[in-house]
Amino acid sequence: MKVTRQKLHQLIQNKLNKAGLSEQHASMVADVLVHADARGIHSHGAVRVEYYAERISKGGTNTSPNFHFEQTGPCSGVFHGDNAAGHVAAKLAMDEAITLAQTNGIAIVGVKKIGHSGALSYFVQQAAKQGMVGISLCQSDPMAVPFGGTGVYYGTNPIAFAAQGEDDKVMTFDMATTVQAWGKILDARSRNDVIPDNWAVNEQGEPTTDPFEVKALVPLSGPKGYGLMMMVDVLSGILLGLPFGSRVSSMYNDLTEGRNLGQLHIVINPSYFTDPQTFKQNISQTMKDLNAVKPAPGVKQVLYPGQNCDINEDESNLNGIEIVDEIYQYLLSDTLYNHSYDHKDPFAH
């Protein structure tokens, strides 16, 4: 099923507004979800709406948050999210970080006590489109085994980066520190697809290709991904005085309670380090250089980081965004949620 960007945005906004978010906040969340679906990152798009609707309806998302930005230094601050929808708090916090970096060259802003914020690429692009370099990282609920272990401790703990070249083109990098994000498992379940055998393990700790058998994700590149998980958890959890590691709340444990998650935005103003126009030119040259690298056998062209998503977005803007029929029908329906998540095992079907 293909729908226009505008139609999908309206359907998501309507559902979240019905669940209890204000129209403004529902629209902001929809912006982030449609961004993900349009770029082919369906794991962070409309597939998440029913979960958000259930948490909002049950009080686990604060629909009337008391946002407060506390500037703690010339280049630093904490955005207090009051357990609002993470997408909204993260976007507003990035606005504050951009303002600080425009004035003082660099900004580091912690986003404290929020819910799940979706695809980090949205927020780093927010900075890049203002001529800044954007970096964002956030903690998530325990779903991954540490390297060499069998019990979960860290989350998927993603990291994202974006910088703008000429002609408003943005080079974007967004990754989980697991081989794949949990949302990729959810997307595979929604499509009844198998998954590669290096994404996750089953209850016995063995690799599985069945998304319904997944009981833990695995770190990207073994000890390297494990180290990155630790770094993200320290910078977006411990640094902000928030729960960390296995103490981070589950997405599904109690949908009546806020999640108290942390996120960290880092914004760099290139003009404090080099000529900003030269910076843009060199970002564009990097893109061209990578595209010109001789491709390996079976590969049509080397793409710069995020270019595949840019291609998907251009296609979506022209021909519509591909949405699973079942998800589309849910968005059209009067059903708010189906009690699918509350107090469920995070790996439940």
Residues 249 and 295 in one domain: no
β-sheet with 159-164: strand ranges across: 68-73, 76-80, 106-114, 261-268, 133-138, 159-164, 170-175
Annotation marks residue 116 as catalytic: yes
pLDDT score recorded for residue 205:
84
Is the residue at 176 inside a domain?
A: yes
Residue 70, pLDDT > 60, answer yes
CA distance 242 to 248: 8
**Residue 338 falls within a domain, yes or no?**
no
CATH number at residue 161: 3.30.1370.60
Looking at the domain assignment, is residue 346 inside a domain? no
What does DSSP assign to residue 248? S
Q: Which of 4-8, 19-23, 42-46, 159-163 has the lowest mean pLDDT?
A: 42-46
Q: Residue 347: what are its φ and ψ, rounded to 5°?
A: -100, 10
The total number of structural domains in the chain stands at 2
254 and 317 belong to one structural domain:
yes
Q: Report yes or no on 344 lying in a domain.
A: no
Any domain includes 347: no
Q: How far apart are CA 244 and CA 15, in angstroms?
A: 32
Residue 87 and residue 21 share a domain: yes
N- to C-terminal Cα separation, the chain: 23
Average pLDDT value for residue range 332-347: 87
Residues 6+ apart with CB under 8 A from 287: 165, 169, 171, 304, 307
- Give the 3-state secondary structure of 182-208: HHHHHHHHHHCCCCCCCCEECCCCCEC
In a domain, 50, yes or no: yes
- For residues 299 and 316, membership in a common domain is answered with no
**Domain identity same for 109 and 61:** yes
Candidates 325, 314, 327, 321; CA nearest to 37 is 321
Taking the C-alpha atoms of residue 4 and residue 267, their distance in angstroms, rounded to an integer, is 32
Q: What is the pTM of this model?
A: 0.94
Q: Please give the residue range of the domain that contains residue 156.
A: 2-275+310-332
- Strands 106-114 and 76-80, bridge-based pairing: parallel
Q: Is residue 255 domain-resident?
A: yes
- Quick one: 173 and 187 in the same domain? yes
- Between CA 167 and CA 230, with CA 161 as vertex, the angle to 5 degrees is 175
Residue 281 and residue 328 share a domain:
no
| 96 and 137, same domain (yes or no) | yes
Residue 276 has pLDDT above 90, yes or no: yes
* φ, ψ dihedrals at 313, nearest 5°: -65, -40
**pLDDT, tens digit, 9 for 90 and up, residues 74-114:** 999 999 999 999 999 999 999 999 999 999 999 999 999 99
Residues 293 and 229 in one domain: no
Higher pLDDT, 190 or 144: 144
CA angle 284, 290, 291 (to 5 degrees): 90
Q: Of 116, 265, 339, 349, which one is the catalytic site residue? A: 116
Same domain, 78 and 227: yes
More confident residue, 261 or 185: 261
- Average pLDDT, stretch 118-128? 98
**Helices assigned H by DSSP within 129-266:** 182-191, 223-236
Confidence of residue 214 (pLDDT cuts 50, 70, 90): very high
List pLDDT tens digits, range 154-212.
999 999 999 999 999 999 999 999 998 877 888 899 889 999 999 998 888 889 999 99
In-domain check, residue 30: yes
Average model confidence (pLDDT) across the chain? 95
**What pLDDT shows up at residue 348?**
65
Same domain, 286 and 231: no
169 with 282, same domain: the answer is: no
**CA–CA dist 121, 205 (Å, integer):** 31
Q: What pLDDT, on the 0 to 100 scale, is given for residue 94?
A: 98
